[in-house]
């Protein structure tokens, strides 16, 4: 692994940098300023939640159109536009003068941060690596976990010392002074495979490049999407309702924060292990099993309210998160080829963003109507099991087709 990193440092580091700075568009970062925005504009929790959901869904709707540009524009030029635009969105969020400006800022943060920064990193990594794609993707997606562990802490420290506006200004400055030049340099030179040339050419020759229109007409794609949507829907639901679960089970206030650290470490380890497994056995071998730990997490949360149960939930969720983060960076080019990879991945990312936006709203509505979250979790656990069966059949169909 060390030799692999040394020989591919600039491309791995560039992708890691993009996934790391995508944190400025993630919910865990944006939510740190919610109370200040609510106070500034007189918004209730429900009102801000609806605005946030609207901005997120709008960004998801735009991703299939913006994301396909990765197929026709060199990645370093995409970086030269996306990173400064994300920095501008951060400034807009810090100094929003009206609700309309705030919604526009959140829309851009979600589209450019959560959406395009990750999209550029994973699409380019999937295109430049074939024989070692699993290892490359597993290293690139570690930026997400490192960002979760560092960015919110740094922002809160700045907010306590100088106010939340300064935190957003620092975010913009860091993007422009560190993220932009480093990621641009890393991606300025496309990767030319060496050492594994014959393996990569052989792998490429066996995969036809599907257009996005062909992919959307493929029944297998829609079955795969059933699996893609489960982690963002279920994971976001658990995190969003952490206060509800804490009150329901009378957990200590700090318990959830401690459990998230356990989940992040589990995710990191499993992402690396999954990368090695994908390179050795292929994405199709891993696909049928990645939802089983998440199913277990749903059932544990449904039928146990102990403090230890929460840590078990986070370990199981981290296993599925780690597997899925690597798996879906490698799966799409393995199935649908490289030529239209950006257009194909933009659809899957858009669907995942839709799921992450719909999860809290749908489950919250059901809670208001008398269906407790543990009850809903039992149904989501069954969904994961049924999705596992569907994915197993999809793999069999793909193998027959190839």
| pLDDT at residue 264 greater than cutoff 90 | no
| pLDDT at residue 198 greater than cutoff 60 | no
| pLDDT at residue 281 greater than cutoff 90 | no
381 contacts 298 by C-beta, under 8 angstroms: yes
| pLDDT at residue 299 greater than cutoff 80 | yes
Instruction: Retrieve residue 229's tokens.
Output: 């949507």
Q: Which residue has the higher pLDDT, 206 or 141?
A: 141
Looking at residue 191, what is its pLDDT? 80
Indicate the pLDDT class of residue 401, thresholds 50, 70 and 90: confident
Looking at residue 177, what is its pLDDT? 96
| pLDDT at residue 194 greater than cutoff 60 | no
What gap in Å lies between CA 130 and CA 204, rounded to an integer? 8
Mean pLDDT along residues 247-258: 81
How much is the pTM?
0.79
Q: Give per-residue pLDDT as tens, 40-82.
A: 998 876 677 788 888 888 998 898 888 888 888 999 999 999 9
What gap in Å lies between CA 19 and CA 330, rounded to an integer? 16
Length of the chain (residues): 402
Looking at residue 60, what is its pLDDT? 87
Angle at 151 between CA 146 and CA 156, to 5 degrees: 145
Instruction: Retrieve residue 250's tokens.
Output: 């009378």
Looking at residue 45, what is its pLDDT? 65
| pLDDT at residue 205 greater than cutoff 60 | no
Mean pLDDT along residues 192-206: 50
| pLDDT at residue 131 greater than cutoff 80 | no
Burial of residue 400 (number of CB atoms within 10 Å: 0-12, 13-18, 19+): exposed
- What are the distances in angstroms from CA 212 to CA 59, 68, 340? 19, 9, 7
129 contacts 191 by C-beta, under 8 angstroms: yes
Strand, helix or coil for residue 1: coil
206 contacts 122 by C-beta, under 8 angstroms: no
Looking at residue 193, what is its pLDDT? 56
Looking at residue 17, what is its pLDDT? 94
109 contacts 93 by C-beta, under 8 angstroms: yes
Mean pLDDT along residues 218-228: 89
Q: CATH 1.20.1250.20 in the chain: give the residue spans.
A: 8-206, 207-402
What gap in Å lies between CA 25 and CA 391, rounded to an integer? 30
Mean pLDDT along residues 175-187: 94
What percent of the chain shows pLDDT beyond 70? 95
Looking at residue 228, what is its pLDDT? 85
| pLDDT at residue 197 greater than cutoff 60 | no
- CATH architecture of the domain with range 8-206: Up-down Bundle (1.20)
232 contacts 352 by C-beta, under 8 angstroms: yes
Kindly compute the dihedral angle of the four CA atoms of residues 335, 338, 344, 348, in this order, to the nearest 10 degrees. 60
What gap in Å lies between CA 180 and CA 187, rounded to an integer? 11
| pLDDT at residue 148 greater than cutoff 90 | no
Looking at residue 252, what is its pLDDT? 84
What gap in Å lies between CA 93 and CA 71, rounded to an integer? 30
pLDDT mean across residues, the chain: 86
What percent of the chain shows pLDDT beyond 90? 33
| pLDDT at residue 133 greater than cutoff 60 | yes
Q: Other C-beta atoms within 10 Å of 54: how many?
A: 14
Strand, helix or coil for residue 189: coil
Q: Which residue has the higher pLDDT, 43 or 112?
A: 112
Class of domain 207-402: mainly alpha
């Amino acid at each position: 692994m060390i030799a692999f990193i040394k020989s591919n440092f600039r491309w791995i580091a560039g992708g890691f940098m993009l996934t790391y700075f995508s944190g400025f568009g993630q919910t865990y970062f944006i939510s740190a300023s919610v109370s200040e925005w609510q106070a500034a504009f007189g918004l209730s929790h429900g009102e801000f939640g609806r605005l946030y959901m609207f901005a997120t869904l709008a960004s998801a709707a735009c991703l299939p159109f913006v994301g396909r540009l990765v197929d026709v524009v060199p990645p370093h030029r995409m970086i030269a536009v996306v990173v400064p635009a994300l920095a501008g969105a951060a400034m807009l969020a810090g100094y929003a003068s009206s609700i309309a400006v705030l919604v526009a800022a959140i829309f851009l943060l979600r589209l450019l941060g959560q959406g395009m920064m990750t999209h550029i990193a994973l699409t380019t990594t999937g295109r430049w690596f074939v024989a070692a794609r699993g290892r490359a993707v597993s290293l690139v997606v570690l930026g997400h976990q490192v960002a979760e562990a560092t960015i919110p802490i740094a922002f809160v420290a700045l907010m306590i010392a100088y106010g939340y506006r300064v935190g957003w200004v620092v975010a913009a400055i860091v993007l422009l002074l560190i993220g932009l030049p480093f990621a641009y340099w890393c991606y300025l030179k496309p990767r030319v495979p060496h050492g594994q040339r014959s393996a990569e050419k052989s792998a490429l020759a066996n995969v036809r490049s599907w257009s996005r229109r062909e992919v959307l007409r493929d029944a297998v794609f829609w079955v795969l999407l059933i699996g893609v949507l489960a982690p963002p829907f279920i994971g976001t639901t658990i995190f969003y309702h952490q206060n509800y679960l804490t009150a329901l089970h009378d957990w200590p206030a700090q318990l959830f924060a401690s459990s998230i650290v356990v989940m992040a470490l589990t995710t990191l380890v499993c992402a690396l292990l999954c990368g090695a497994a994908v390179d050795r056995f292929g994405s199709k071998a891993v696909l049928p099993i990645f939802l089983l730990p998440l199913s277990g997490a749903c059932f544990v949360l449904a039928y146990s309210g102990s403090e230890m149960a929460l840590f078990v939930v986070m370990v199981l969720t981290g296993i599925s998160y780690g597997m899925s983060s690597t798996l879906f960076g490698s799966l799409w080019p393995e199935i649908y080829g490289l030529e239209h990879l950006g257009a194909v991945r933009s659809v899957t990312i858009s669907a995942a963003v839709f799921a992450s936006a719909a999860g809290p709203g749908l489950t919250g509505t059901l809670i208001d109507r008398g269906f407790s979250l543990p009850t809903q979790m039992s149904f989501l656990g069954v969904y994961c099991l049924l999705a596992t069966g569907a994915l197993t059949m999809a793999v069999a169909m793909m193998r027959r087709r190839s």
